[in-house]
Amino acid sequence: MKLLAKISFAVIFFSFVGNASAGPASAKLSSLADSLIKGHLQKPGAVKATLAIFKFNCDKKLEERHIGFAVSELMSHRFVADGTFTVVERGEIGRLLQEQRLQASGAVDNDAAVRLGMLAGAGVVLLGNVQKVGGEYQVNARLVSVETGEVLVSGYAELDEQVFETDAYGYMGSAAQAHPVGLYFLYNYRRSANSMSRSARSGGGANYDYNPHAFAVGISGIGLRYTPFSKVQVDFAFISTGKGGVKTTKETVTGIYSNTSEVTTEIYAYRGILSYLGSVSPRVRYAVGGGFTKYSLNSDRDSYIAPLLHGRLEYLMQGRIGISLAANYDLNQKTFLGSPLFGDVPVLRLDKFSIEPSITIYF
């Protein structure tokens, strides 16, 4: 479908932009990562190992702006791309920090990192410190052996303040900003009394009786979530019953021939939402906002636009996977018209309220 193609293109585009826009600071941190990788490989008996990457330590003021997190995330991309190490998921590191009650402090020393690295199944940990001196960020990084606690290799880089903050902008609002683009799959579920009067029509020597009835429908869909700022999220989705549609009205025919069947209605919805993002905990966040949905019946034979209110709670299972449960409420509704023979027959009225579980993959 054309919309699915557009969504796929948007995901590729934003991913490409994220890579293409890697500036001088990102390049310096990648170079620092390369030097650590090279130094590790030059050690006698060096083999491919599992690497746990920890947020770099910094003072309270920098910690509040997530500077240490931004540096470690920018460096982690290079370690993942290089392939010398198998990198432990950030979500797993966060889980271990919470279990060990270290998350709140924002600092992990060598001994704690070695212990946590061992719990994560890592052979090597990446640690570092960031400090701001004048108009520069000074970064010290080191790879430490989990088995011996030995510093295997270390490195240093200086980053211009403005250049670094431009490159790291997407990481500095909150930890969730590390992956600002998400492709998600949803299941929109709603029940409807379909409380409309019965109607009758005649034509071709037959009488037609239409009796709308209550129904429940689950409509699958696909969407794109984009977080341009730390507290702002834009959400676009396409939802469709497909050709199967939903049975909402009983059709009874009498006269020259008799027949009873269900009127099947195809439902398509195009939705846009603007939300405020907040956090309950490091792994649980919420979104509250509003937007519009365009509902379309039987390939746009009948349609309407409904303003909506949206609320969503999301649990981040790993660094790149989130499970959500949302509630949506349309501020208006319309009776859909249409049938195989008569275009003015009321056949469907969607309920205003729906619930919507979804799973998101972040890029």
143 & 185 share domain = no
260 & 343 share domain = yes
Is there a contact between 112 and 106 (Cβ–Cβ < 8 Å)? Answer: no
Q: Tell me the one-letter amino acid at 210.
A: Y
Is there a contact between 30 and 78 (Cβ–Cβ < 8 Å)? Answer: yes
335 & 284 share domain = yes
Beta strands at 321-330 and 302-316: parallel, antiparallel or unpaired: antiparallel
Alpha carbon of 290 to those of 233, 272, 276, 331: distances in Å?
Answer: 11, 8, 9, 10
As a whole number of angstroms, the distance between CA 252 and CA 241 comes to: 24
pLDDT tens-digit readout, 244-280: 899 999 999 998 889 999 988 899 999 999 999 988 8
What pLDDT shows up at residue 113? 86
Read off the pLDDT band of 223 (50, 70, 90): very high
What is the DSSP-derived secondary structure letter of residue 317?
A: S
252 & 320 share domain = yes
Is there a contact between 277 and 232 (Cβ–Cβ < 8 Å)? Answer: yes
Read off the pLDDT band of 18 (50, 70, 90): very low
* Exposure of 332 in the CB half-sphere (CA atoms within 13 A): 12
pLDDT tens-digit readout, 35-85: 999 999 988 877 889 999 998 999 988 988 889 988 998 899 899 889 899
103 & 181 share domain = no
As a whole number of angstroms, the distance between CA 164 and CA 160 comes to: 6
148 & 201 share domain = no
259 & 320 share domain = yes
As a whole number of angstroms, the distance between CA 80 and CA 88 comes to: 10
Total domain count, the chain: 2
Q: Is position 1 within any domain? A: no
218 & 348 share domain = yes
94 & 223 share domain = no
154 & 54 share domain = yes
166 & 46 share domain = yes
Domain that holds residue 306: 177-362
The two three-digit tokens of residue 301, written as one number: 């034979």
100 & 205 share domain = no
